[in-house]
C-alpha cells in the first residue's frame, strides 16, 4: 500500500512538472512570437535607414521641388510673416505647414541651415510610414502579415518609380511620411469606434487634425474612412442589434472627433477659411496627373496591374472580406473604398476636361494612387499569410493521412505563414534591391550639381540680402521654384502647380508678360506702370546675357545665374 501511494505521488508530481513545463514553453513561445518579428522589423528598418542616410549624406540640396515649398513656409515663419503666402505677395499660405514647422524646429535645435535639414531629415521622418504600417498591420492581421507587407513597402518599388509612391525613400516629402500619420489615425479611429469613449475619439480627432496639418490627401482619406466605419457601426447598432441609444451616442462622439480635428487644424485651415472661404479659383494644382495616372495611360496601367503581387493582394482581399466582422477588416474595406472612389473621381474629372469642363479635384490622382498602393500593401501581407497557412494545412493533412511525420507539435499553418512571409521578403528584395534604386544612389558626376547644387549660392544670397517682401521676375519659372521659393521671397508669377489655388492666375500672368515686354522693348512708362506696384523688384536670369536688361542694375552673379535690381521707377518717384 505505501508503495502504491508513493507511485501515485510520483506520477502526480510528474504530471504537474510536465504541465508547468509545457505552460512555460507556451509562454516562452508567445514571447518569442511577439519579440522576434518586431526585432526582424526593427532590423529591416534600421538597415534601410542606414542606406538612406548614406544616400543623402553627400547632398546639400534636395532632389525634390515640393520640399522647396515647405522651406518657403519655414522661412516665412522665421521672418515672422506666417500665414503669408511665401511666394505670392498679399496672399495667404495655402499649403499644409507641418513639414515647414518641423524644419524650423530642427533649425532652432541644431542651427543647421534649412536647405541642409531638408536633405538630412528625410531618412528619419520618412521612416514613420513603414514603422506605423508594421504596427497597424500586425495589430489587425498578425505579425507575419505585418512583416510581409513591410517587405513590400521597403522593397516593392522598382528603381524608376517616383519617390512619392507608397514606399520608403530617403528624400523628404510630406506625401511619403504622412502615410505613417494615416496608419496611426486609422488605428486610433478604429479603436475609438470599438470602445466608444470620449477620450479615444478625442485622441483620434487630434491625430486627424495633425494629419491635415501634414498633408490634405491622407487627412481626407482618413476622415472618409472613419466616416464609413462609423456608418457601418451605426447600421450594426440600429438594424442588427437594435440599440439606437448607443448609436446616437456614437454619432455624438464622432462629431466630437470632427470638432477636435477642426480645432487642431486651425493654424492651417483658419486663415484660408477667413480669407478665401475655400473658394478655388485656380484648380490646376489639384488636377495634376503624373504619367502613371493619366487617362490615356489607363489601359496600359490596368494591364500592368496583372502581376503576381497584385494576385496575392487579391487573395488577401478575399480573406479580408470573408472576415469583414473583424475590426481590422472593416477599416481596410472602408479605406479601400474611399481610395477607389477618389481614383474614379480623378479619371472622371480628366474625362470632363476633354469636353472643356474643368472642376477642382478633391485629391490629385497620384495621391489617390499612393493610398490604393497602401491598401494593396496591407492586402498583400494578408494574402501571403493566407497562402502560407493554406500550404501548412495541406502539409498537415498529408502528414496525418500518410503518416509521413509527426505534425502535431509543428503548428504547420503558423509555420507556413512565417515561411511565406520570409520568402516574400527575400523575393521582393532580390527583384528590387536598394542598389538598383535611383533614390538610394548618392549623386555621381556633374548632373546633380548642374540641376540642383549650383543654385545654392544664389539662394543663400537672396535669403540673406533681400527683404521678405522683395518680388522676383523669373523668365525661367523653374529657377523661381528652386531659388526664390525656398528663400520665402515673392514671385511675380509662380509656376502653375505651385500657384495659390484660391487666387486667379490670369492677372499675374498678364503682369509678368507686361514686364518682360517692357524690358524687351525698353518702354519706361510701361515698365514703371507695373513695377511700381511692388516695393522692390528683381530680375533673376539663369545665365548671363550679352545685352543687359534696360533700367536694371546687376547685383550679383552666383552659380551661373545673374540677379538684377530694377531701380529706375523708384528713383523717378523719389525725384
Residues in the chain: 575
Give rounded-to-5 percent helix, strand, coil for the chain. Answer: 70, 5, 25
57: in domain: yes
pLDDT of residue 534: 92
- 178 φ/ψ sector (left φ>0, alpha ψ -120 to 50, else beta): alpha
* Number of domains composing the chain: 1
Average pLDDT over residues 539-550: 86
Beta strands 471-473 and 490-491, pairing class: parallel
Rounded to whole angstroms, the Cα distance separating 490 from 473 reads 9
At residue 362, does pLDDT exceed 90? Answer: no
pLDDT of residue 411: 67
Only one residue has cell 544670397, namely 461
pLDDT of residue 163: 54
Residue 191 CB-density burial (10 A; 0-12 exposed, 13-18 middle, 19+ buried): middle
At residue 524, does pLDDT exceed 80? Answer: yes
> Could you tell me what percent of the chain has a pLDDT over 70?
89
Mean pLDDT of the chain: 87
| Cell matching residue 103 | 524644419
Q: How many other C-beta atoms can be found within 10 angstroms of the C-beta atom of residue 318?
A: 13
pLDDT of residue 33: 63
At residue 73, does pLDDT exceed 80? Answer: yes
Average pLDDT over residues 274-279: 95
446: in domain: no
pLDDT of residue 432: 85
Domain boundaries, position 219 = 35-64+126-280+289-440
pLDDT of residue 30: 56
Q: Which of 495, 216, 264, 491 is nearest to 360 (CA)?
A: 216
Q: What is the DSSP letter of 443?
A: P
Rounded to whole angstroms, the Cα distance separating 500 from 93 reads 8
At residue 344, does pLDDT exceed 90? Answer: yes
Rounded to whole angstroms, the Cα distance separating 275 from 94 reads 11
523: in domain: no
Least trusted range by pLDDT, from 195-204, 388-397, 472-481: 388-397
Q: Could you tell me the pLDDT band of residue 449, with boundaries at 50, 70 and 90?
A: confident
At residue 26, does pLDDT exceed 60? Answer: no
Average pLDDT over residues 1-5: 49
At residue 4, does pLDDT exceed 70? Answer: no
Residue 285 — φ and ψ, nearest 5°? Answer: -60, -35
Q: Could you tell me the pLDDT band of residue 19, with boundaries at 50, 70 and 90?
A: very low
Amino acid at each position: 500500500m505505501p508503495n502504491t501511494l508513493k507511485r501515485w505521488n510520483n506520477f502526480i508530481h510528474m504530471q504537474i512538472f510536465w504541465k508547468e513545463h509545457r505552460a512555460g514553453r507556451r509562454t516562452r513561445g508567445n514571447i518569442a512570437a511577439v519579440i522576434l518579428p518586431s526585432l526582424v522589423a526593427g532590423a529591416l528598418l534600421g538597415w534601410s535607414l542606414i542606406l538612406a542616410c548614406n544616400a543623402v549624406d553627400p547632398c546639400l540640396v534636395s532632389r525634390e521641388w515640393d520640399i522647396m515649398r515647405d522651406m518657403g513656409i519655414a522661412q516665412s515663419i522665421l521672418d515672422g510673416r506666417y500665414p503669408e503666402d511665401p511666394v505670392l505677395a498679399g496672399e495667404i499660405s495655402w499649403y499644409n505647414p507641418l513639414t515647414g514647422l518641423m524644419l524650423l524646429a530642427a533649425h532652432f535645435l541644431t542651427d543647421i541651415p534649412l536647405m541642409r535639414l531638408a536633405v538630412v531629415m528625410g531618412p528619419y521622418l520618412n521612416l514613420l510610414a513603414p514603422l506605423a504600417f508594421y504596427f497597424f498591420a500586425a495589430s489587425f492581421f498578425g505579425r507575419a502579415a505585418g512583416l510581409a507587407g513591410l517587405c513590400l513597402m521597403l522593397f516593392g518599388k522598382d528603381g524608376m518609380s517616383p519617390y512619392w509612391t507608397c514606399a520608403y525613400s530617403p528624400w523628404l516629402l510630406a506625401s511619403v511620411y504622412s502615410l505613417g500619420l494615416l496608419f496611426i489615425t486609422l488605428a486610433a479611429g478604429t479603436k475609438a469606434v470599438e470602445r466608444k469613449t470620449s477620450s479615444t475619439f478625442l485622441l483620434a480627432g487630434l491625430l486627424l487634425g495633425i494629419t491635415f496639418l501634414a498633408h490634405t490627401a491622407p487627412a481626407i482619406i482618413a476622415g472618409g474612412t472613419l466616416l464609413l466605419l462609423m456608418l457601418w457601426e451605426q447600421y450594426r447598432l440600429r438594424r442588427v442589434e437594435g440599440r439606437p441609444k448607443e448609436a446616437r451616442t456614437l454619432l455624438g462622439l464622432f462629431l466630437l472627433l470632427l470638432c477636435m480635428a477642426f480645432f487642431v487644424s486651425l493654424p492651417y485651415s483658419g486663415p484660408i477659411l477667413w480669407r478665401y472661404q475655400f473658394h478655388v479659383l485656380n484648380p490646376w494644382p489639384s488636377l495634376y496627373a503624373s504619367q502613371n495616372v493619366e487617362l490615356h495611360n489607363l489601359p496600359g496601367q490596368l494591364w500592368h496591374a496583372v502581376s503576381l503581387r497584385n494576385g496575392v493582394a487579391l487573395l488577401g482581399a478575399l480573406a479580408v472580406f470573408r472576415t469583414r466582422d473583424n475590426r481590422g477588416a472593416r477599416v481596410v474595406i472602408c479605406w479601400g473604398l474611399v481610395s477607389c472612389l477618389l481614383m474614379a473621381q480623378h479619371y472622371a474629372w480628366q474625362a470632363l476636361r476633354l469636353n472643356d469642363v474643368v472642376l477642382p479635384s478633391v485629391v490629385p490622382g497620384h495621391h489617390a494612387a499612393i493610398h490604393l498602393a497602401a491598401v494593396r500593401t496591407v492586402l498583400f501581407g494578408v494574402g501571403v499569410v493566407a497562402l502560407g497557412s493554406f500550404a501548412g494545412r495541406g502539409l498537415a493533412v498529408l502528414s496525418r493521412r500518410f503518416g509521413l511525420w509527426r505534425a502535431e507539435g509543428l503548428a504547420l499553418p503558423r509555420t507556413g505563414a512565417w515561411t511565406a512571409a520570409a520568402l516574400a521578403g527575400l523575393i521582393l528584395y532580390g527583384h528590387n534591391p536598394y542598389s538598383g534604386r535611383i533614390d538610394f544612389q548618392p549623386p555621381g558626376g556633374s548632373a546633380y550639381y548642374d540641376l540642383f547644387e549650383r543654385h545654392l549660392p544664389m539662394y543663400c544670397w537672396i535669403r540673406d540680402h533681400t527683404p521678405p517682401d522683395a518680388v522676383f521676375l523669373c523668365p525661367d519659372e523653374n529657377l523661381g521654384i528652386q531659388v526664390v521659393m525656398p528663400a520665402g521671397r515673392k514671385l511675380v508669377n509662380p509656376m502653375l502647380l505651385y500657384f495659390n489655388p484660391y487666387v486667379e492666375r490670369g492677372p499675374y500672368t498678364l503682369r509678368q508678360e507686361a514686364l518682360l515686354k517692357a524690358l524687351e522693348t525698353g518702354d519706361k512708362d510701361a515698365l514703371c506702370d507695373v513695377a511700381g506696384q511692388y516695393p522692390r523688384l528683381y530680375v533673376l536670369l539663369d545665365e548671363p546675357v550679352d545685352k543687359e536688361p534696360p533700367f536694371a542694375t546687376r547685383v550679383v552673379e552666383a552659380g551661373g545665374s545673374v540677379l538684377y535690381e530694377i531701380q529706375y521707377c523708384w528713383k523717378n518717384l523719389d525725384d
